[in-house]
Each structure stands twice: as structure tokens, then as C-alpha cells.
Amino acid sequence: MIWRASAFAGFAALLIGASAGQAAPWTRGYVVGTYEFAFHYGGRAGFTRAGEVEPGSDCPHGSTRHFSNPEYVKAALSRQKWRDPADIEKIGAPPGLEKVAGPATTRFSIWGRAVSYRGYRRGIETYVNPFAAEDTGQPQVTGRISEGLDLDSNAKTGFASPDGEKGVDNNLYRAWGCDAPWRGRGNATLFLRSNDKMLDGLYTIVVRISGTKDPMNDDDAVVEIGYSPDRIIKDARNAVAADYSYRLPRSTQYTRFKAKVRGGVVDTEQVAELHMPRIAWLYDHSGDAAFRKAKLRLTMKPDGTMTGLVAGYRDWRDVYNQNTFGQSGGEQGVREHEDAVALYYALRRNADGMRDAKTGRFMGISTAYRISAMPAFVVDPDPAQPVGIRGLEAEEWRKASYEAIAAAVTRATSTRIVQDVPPGTTEAAVPRLEYITKGLPSRDYFLKLLDRPHYAHQVDRQGKPLTDMPEEPAPPPPKPKQVSSARP
């Protein structure tokens, strides 16, 4: 159900409430239009080194360049003593590449499979078992300024905010703030991708703020934030349109806070858990972003828009998984010039919350997400028509594969026991490499040389075998079930 504000002037007056200075019930609603890590971008003026991503003053060692060219690929592969240097050279520059229709795609697929196996011995898939590979080094933020909030009530820890507030906790920024695809002033590659998919309907986040006094100053306000089942409405310029209605189910991915408003700035209490959608760009890795010891700071602006910060501790393995397995670890690394192994070690090194009582290890990392939002009517669903998180039936097999690989990473990193790659994923470019290298003169050499997952009696979505072991042929795909047209 969608309502346009102009058609409900009376309802708008009730929701928006009294003007400043009046003591009366008030409510303001918003739909989130941008949702991204709060990485402070301290760019340097006059940066001129050609071919490099502008690193910013907070990243004096530059942004990541993993797998951006053959030399970086060969350097990573040279860390495995079991590899033959001659093979590494051929991986860097595959022979006969000029014979195929798509040389860049073919080269990237070979690189993706090669970097997916960098363990201390053959056969260990890198991204499911990052502990088994050497740390390739993640350039980390060295600056002292960060966006975020004080999560541990200790002004002596963390960063200073851009306006001078002490004790800002945002170690995800320290760990990943120099990672190339997350860097930029609102135009970082992965932020653009995830926000674009959010605006296209992958998920919707809404905020509702209410109180009983003055919207600009109220010491007894309430903030509700969470998922909405309604798609974002866009205007003619493909931006979020203002003043449409969105439902807010008080169930999964919903959190309610007590808050205080001072001068239009809303500060919430700190709650044990905050649930809202993950940053995602594909359905399979969308889901619940659980924040621990979380709180919000939101600014209601005179033009009706809102900006703010969502902060808390997140399980760093969940953060690792959603970044690595949106596609596959190798594809993400080669295309985005990041190495999930280095990101894994950076997360583990900078973890600062959610201490495990048995091991003493920190399993959470302090984070801050930056949001901006347009005014909207945020309404409760009709009690007679319960709503929940919508699913995509055709994509559920992908989500199941993602959840399986995420569980495998948790087992691997918790026990340090090597785990296999669950079937149904695209890890190590399986079966993509087999298809895409047809016509490459060195195809057989690479298929024999490079490790890959093996799945006995497994077929892909098109019914093609996922095994190259002839003694274990894959069965034919199941026949579709017949549905009877008879009625009782």
C-alpha cells in the first residue's frame, strides 16, 4: 500500500506533529536512501601519482592493490613453497590468451582459481579457510579521526570524531578503511553497488522518531528502526522520493530505542542488540546485520531530511563473509583489488568487543554505519495482514549456499580444522573456468595444474556435472514434479 502525502494532508499534520515550541505528540518518519560504512575519507589535495587510487591522509601507505596486475598475483602465489616458479609465471601470463574471444575474462578466471588455493599445502581453499594462508598484508588507517560513537564509555580509547568528540569506537574503519573498493566520498565501488541494489528493491530501511514534547528538544523520545517490506519509491531522477508511506513490522530486523532530542540531534540509549538489514548487493548475502551494544545518533534537518550514524559491535566473521562471498573470494579479489585473507587478519587483529568467555578472544569489531534518509510516512502494518521479510523463491538455493559457506568459515576459524567448500557456491570459479577457457590452447594444463573443489554426484543449476572425476559420473538432473489439475 502506497500513500502520497498530498492526498492525506490531515494525516500528515497528525504525524509530523506540532511546530517547534509546542508540547504535543509528534512523529517523524524517514526512508533510508544511503547506507554504508562510516569510513572517514581524508583525501590529500594535489595527489598526482598516475595509476594509483588517491589514498588520503589517513592511508599514507596507499589503498589496496591486491591482484590488480600479474606481478601482484605472482607475489601472492610465491608465498606457497609447494608451487613451481615456472607454473606461477604461466598463471601470471596464460599462454595462448590471444586465441580466446575474451582474454581479460579468461585471465581473471585463471587468477581467481589460483588465488583461491594459497594454503600451507595443496587442496586447502583459501577463502573458507583464511587462517591456513599467509597474511598478505592489509594497509591500515593510521589517522586519529573517525566517524562513529563511543561504545565502551571510555574517552581514552578509539578515535576522535571530526568535531572533536573523544572515544569514538570504529575499528572496522581502522582495519578496512584503506581497502580500495570501500574508499571514496560517497562514490566507493561497493557503496555504489549496495546502495543501488537497495534502491532497486533488495531491502528497505525505515526510521520512525516520536515524542510528546518538542520535535527539536524532547528528553522522552522513541526511535524505531528496521526493515520494511515495501520497495523504495524513486522520483524521475532515480533518487528516493519524499513523502510516501512504508510499513514497519515490529518483528525481525526491528529495534526500538529510548532517546533524547537536543537541537534536532537524536541520541538513543545503548541496547544489547540492534537488528536491521545487512549491506548487500545480492539476495544471497542479504539478511540480518546484528549489532551488539548498539546506539544511534540521528540529525533531523530543517529541510525534512535526516542523516545519522548506526554504531555497535558486529561479529567480524559475519562482516568477512558478506564481503567475501557475495560472489566468490577470488572474483571479489581480482575485480576489486582486495584480498579477503588480508581482510580476515585485519579484522581479527582489530577486534575489540564481544569477548568469548571460553577463549578470551574478541569476536566483535566496533563499527559505524552512515545513513541518509528522506521524509516518509512510517506506519504500522494492518494487524489482519501480518508481514515479514520477503523472499525470492528462485534465489533461495543461492541463499542456502551462502549460509552453508558462512557456517563453514565459522567452523574453520573457530576450530582451525580445514573445511571443504560447500556445493552450490562459485568458489574457485567452479564451474565457470571450465566453460570460459574453451578455445584456450593451455586449457588442459591449467585444469590439471590448479586445485578446485570436487563434488561427487553433483550438478549445477543447468544440470551440467560439477565433477571432473569420470569414475563418479553425475546423475541427470531431477525431472520437474507434475502438478495435478484435479480439484477436490
pLDDT for res 54:
58
Phi, psi of 308 (to 5 degrees): 180, 180
- Quote the longest CA-to-CA distance of the chain: 80
More confident residue, 430 or 456: 430
Look at residue 145 and tell me whether its pLDDT is greater than 80: yes
When the pLDDT of each residue in the chain is averaged and rounded to a whole number, the result is 87
Using pLDDT thresholds of 50, 70 and 90, give the confidence band for residue 28: very high
CA distances in angstroms from 264 to 219, 261, 433, listed in the order given: 12, 6, 55
Using pLDDT thresholds of 50, 70 and 90, give the confidence band for residue 185: confident
Look at residue 486 and tell me whether its pLDDT is greater than 60: no
Listed range (101-115, 280-294, 445-459) with the worst mean pLDDT: 445-459
Q: How confident is the model over 428-450, as pLDDT tens digits?
A: 888 888 888 989 999 999 999 99
Cβ contacts of 449-454, under 8 Å, gap ≥ 24: 449/87, 450/91, 450/110, 450/113, 450/114, 450/117, 451/113, 451/116, 451/117, 451/122, 451/123, 451/125, 452/113, 452/117, 452/428, 453/125, 453/420, 453/421, 453/423, 453/427, 453/428
Q: Mean of the pLDDT values across residues 115-120?
A: 97
pLDDT for res 484:
34
pLDDT for res 143:
87
The answer to whether 325 and 343 have CB atoms below 8 angstroms apart is: no
Look at residue 221 and tell me whether its pLDDT is greater than 90: yes
Report the C-alpha gap between 374 and 239 in whole angstroms: 10
Look at residue 408 and tell me whether its pLDDT is greater than 90: yes
pLDDT for res 462:
53
Count of other CB atoms within 10 angstroms of residue 314: 25
pLDDT for res 55:
57
Q: How confident is the model over 59-101, as pLDDT tens digits?
A: 887 889 999 999 999 999 999 999 999 999 999 999 999 999 8
Three-class secondary structure assignment of the chain: CCCEHHHHHHHHHHHHCCCCCCCCCEEEEEEEEEEEECCCCCCCCCCCCCCCCCCCCCCCCCCCCCCCCHHHHHHHHCCCCCCCHHHHHHHHCCCCHHHCCCHHHHHHHHHHHHHCCCECCCCCCCCCCHHHECCCCCCCCCCCECCCECCCCCCCCCEECCCCCCCEECHHHHHHCCCHHHCCCCCCHHHHHHHHHHHCCCCCEEEEEEECCECCEEEEEEEEEEECCCCCCECCCCCECCCEEEECCCCCCEEEEEEEEECCEEEECCEEEEEEECCCCCHHHCCEEEEEEEEEEEEECCCCCEEEEEEEEEEHHHHHHHHHCCCCHHHHHHHHCCCHHHHHHHHHHHCCEEECCCCCCEEEEEEEEEEEEEEEEEECCCCCCCCCCCCCHHHHHHHHHHHHHHHHHHHHHHHCCCCCCCCCCCHHHCCHHHHHCCCCCCHHHHHHHCCCCCCCCCECCCCCECCCCCCCCCCCCCCCCCCCCCCC
Look at residue 44 and tell me whether its pLDDT is greater than 90: no
Count of other CB atoms within 10 angstroms of residue 415: 10
Using pLDDT thresholds of 50, 70 and 90, give the confidence band for residue 46: low
More confident residue, 258 or 17: 258
Using pLDDT thresholds of 50, 70 and 90, give the confidence band for residue 56: low
Look at residue 13 and tell me whether its pLDDT is greater than 70: no
Using pLDDT thresholds of 50, 70 and 90, give the confidence band for residue 381: very high
Q: What whole-number percentage of the chain has pLDDT above 70?
A: 85
Using pLDDT thresholds of 50, 70 and 90, give the confidence band for residue 405: very high
pLDDT for res 224:
98
pLDDT for res 49:
60
Look at residue 11 and tell me whether its pLDDT is greater than 70: no
Using pLDDT thresholds of 50, 70 and 90, give the confidence band for residue 385: confident
Q: How confident is the model over 238-282, as pLDDT tens digits?
A: 899 999 999 999 988 999 999 999 999 999 999 999 999 999 999
β-pairing, 362-379 vs 245-247, is parallel
Look at residue 303 and tell me whether its pLDDT is greater than 90: yes
Using pLDDT thresholds of 50, 70 and 90, give the confidence band for residue 460: low
Using pLDDT thresholds of 50, 70 and 90, give the confidence band for residue 204: very high
CA dihedral of 107, 108, 114, 116, whole degrees rounded to 10: -170
Q: How confident is the model over 346-368, as pLDDT tens digits?
A: 999 999 999 999 999 999 999 99
Q: What whole-number percentage of the chain has pLDDT above 90?
A: 71
Domain ranges of the chain: 5-44+138-390, 70-133+396-449
Report the C-alpha gap between 121 and 80 in whole angstroms: 8
Using pLDDT thresholds of 50, 70 and 90, give the confidence band for residue 389: confident
Closest CA to 352 of 143, 159, 190: 159
pLDDT for res 248:
95
